[in-house]
Amino acid sequence: MNLFEHLAVLALLVLAAGFLSLTEIALAGARKIKLKLLAEAGDERAQKVMSLQAQSADFFAASQLGLNAIAILGGILGEGALRPFFLDWLSLFYSGPGRDNVAFALSFVFVTTLFVLFSDLMPKRLAMIAPEATAMAVIRPVLFVIRLFRPFSWALNKIANMLFRLFGVDMTREDRITFDEISAVVEAGAQAGVLQKQEQHFIENVFELESRTVTSTMTTRENVVFFDLTEPEESIRQKIANHSLSKFPVCDGVIDRVVGYVDTRDILVRLLSKQTRFQLSELTIRTALIIPDTLTLSEMLDRFRSSKETFAIVINEYAFVVGVITLSDIMVTVMGRWGSPLEADQQTLQRDDGSWLIDGSTPVADMKRVLDLQSLPEEERYETAAGFMMYMLRKVPKPTDSVEHEGMRFEVVDVDHYRIDQLLVKRLERADTSPLSVGSLTD
């Protein structure tokens, strides 16, 4: 063959190797979720790609066999065709010793560059742009290649499987998707403009329902407003006027002896019926849903759905009431507060100097989001900002007690009967701050 024929054959080998490289990346990078959606839409090629991904050993054996054979053949052909050409070209201006070696090196560099550029780098980058579309476009030729090399790939796979078993390597592919992976996809969608920032927060908050317990979003015991069975009408009217609540627990003397709850709509019906006077005993006291404080928000949502209730009493392991939770509380966790700006900023408030005032009852997840913190020590041991401080201080908190973490100082500024009401969070300026330290000015 002349030089032109050699180059034509070499070009065909480069294209064949490029095709195999492209299909390898496309089939490995094609996402199962997207392929499943395409298959459900009626595209049979997507189903074939998923089937091949599930049993990919034959394809990769055939692909590697073809790539290595083409690379070796291309090297032999390229060196045989190009070495005399470079030798003649070098003779025009150099005829000294080592000319054969230089011609060989030039032919080797040329063939290697040709294969790396057109058979490896460019095809793989093209496949990474749209792996699902590429995989479906090449699936039929790929299946033909697999049938063509099946005897060789079968033998290679047998040897490979034997070696894997010998070294105890599990070759089962895991298709499990974690929350971190979903969060990364959602964040990528937000950065690409497919999702709005608010939609991204909604999706992430929905997944947080599985990890957050009811204590992180309930109305705590000291803030629960309840009616006593013997409470006079004037006191009931005053509580309804002072607190914009639709449901009030009814207790027998103390909050831990819950009888049920009253819906203020029942009182409204009486007032609209011109019954200006009423007694608590005359109202419908509904049975309260009692739930343990260990339930997650996701489990709480299921309880509300199954019981057709929207209000529940939260108790601890000693049967003491620790708070109340409503369906609206869970919706606020997902969608954020929709009240006035003052209501929305009750728990976290940024000051002009860049520091933050944070309510002690602020859920840990909300505090991390506001302060842009990646993690807190032993997060599973507490639910709120006050819990974080109590855990880190290892003592009853006092004003000016402080904790430093991730370049921030958390300082107790207000304590109400041993309960942390408010924290002051400042970013430290010195660069040599240790990851975590605890201190107190009033020990």
257 — pLDDT class (breaks 50, 70, 90): very high
Task: Tell whether 286 is covered by a domain.
Answer: yes
Same domain, 55 and 111: yes
pLDDT of 115-173, one tens digit each? 889 988 899 898 888 889 998 999 988 888 888 878 887 888 788 888 888 888 776 66
Kindly tell me if the per-residue pLDDT of 248 is higher than 90. Answer: yes
Q: Is residue 255 part of a domain?
A: yes
Task: Specify whether 161 is located in the same domain as 13.
Answer: yes
The structural domain count of the chain equals 4
The larger pLDDT score, comparing residue 338 to residue 162, is at 162
Ordered strands of the 219-220 beta sheet: 219-220, 321-326, 311-315, 289-292
Domain encompassing residue 136: 3-167
Residues 360 and 217 in one domain: no
Residue 254 is assigned to a structural domain of this protein: yes
89 with 231, same domain? Answer: no
What is the predicted pLDDT for the residue at 157? 79
User: What is the average pLDDT across 412-422?
Assistant: 87
| Together in a domain, 185 and 222 | no
Rounded Cα–Cα distance for residues 352 and 422 (Å): 17
Structural domain ending residue among the three candidates 303, 318, 335: 335
Domain assignment present for residue 442? The answer is no
Mean pLDDT, range 393-404, rounded to an integer:
90
Nearest C-alpha neighbor of 410 from the set 432, 387, 443: 387
Shared domain check, 301 and 355: no
Instruction: Tell me the C-alpha to C-alpha distance, in Å, between residue 388 and each of 152, 204, 217, 383, 436.
Output: 62, 22, 16, 8, 13
Residues 231 and 86 in one domain: no
Question: Over the chain, what is the mean pLDDT?
Answer: 83
Give the Cα separation of 268 and 263 in Å (integer): 9
Are 77 and 222 found together in one domain? no
* Residue 439 placed within a domain: no
Which CATH number goes with the domain that contains 376?
3.30.465.10
- Whether 189 and 238 map to the same domain: the answer is no
Where is the domain boundary, 301, 335, 369? Answer: 335
**Span 39-85, pLDDT tens digits:** 888 888 988 888 888 877 778 888 888 888 888 888 888 777 787 88
Confidence check: pLDDT of 434 > 70? no
Q: Which amino acid is located at 60 in the chain?
A: F
- Does 95 map to a domain? yes
- C-alpha–C-alpha distance, residues 397 and 391, integer Å: 10
Which of the listed residues 335, 370, 391 is the one where a domain comes to its end? 335
Q: Which long-range contacts (CB under 8 A, 24 or more apart) does 377-384 make?
A: 377/405, 377/436, 383/212, 383/213, 383/215, 383/216, 384/216, 384/360
Query: Which pTM value belongs to this model?
Result: 0.56
| Integer Rg of the chain from CA | 35
Q: Residue holding tokens 């409204």? A: 268
CB 304 within 8 A of CB 327: yes
**Both 101 and 24 in a single domain?**
yes
* Nearest-angstrom CA–CA distance, 418 and 222: 13
Q: Cα separations (Å) of 355 from 36, 138, 384, 408, 424?
A: 48, 57, 19, 10, 7
Same domain for 198 and 252, yes or no, is no
Same domain, 186 and 255: no
Decide if 359 is inside a domain: yes
CA distances from 162 to 152, 156, 158 (A): 16, 10, 6
365 versus 139: which is more confidently predicted?
A: 139
Q: Is the residue at 408 inside a domain?
A: yes
CATH of the domain at 318: 3.10.580.10
Please, which pLDDT band fits residue 323 given cuts at 50, 70 and 90?
Answer: very high
Number of H helices, E strands in the chain: 17, 13
- Nearest residue to 198 (alpha-carbon basis) of 383, 327, 356, 337: 337
> Sign of the C-alpha dihedral, residues 89, 91, 94, 96?
positive
Q: Are strands 321-326 and 219-220 parallel, antiparallel or unpaired?
A: antiparallel
Q: Which residue has the higher pLDDT, 184 or 357?
A: 357
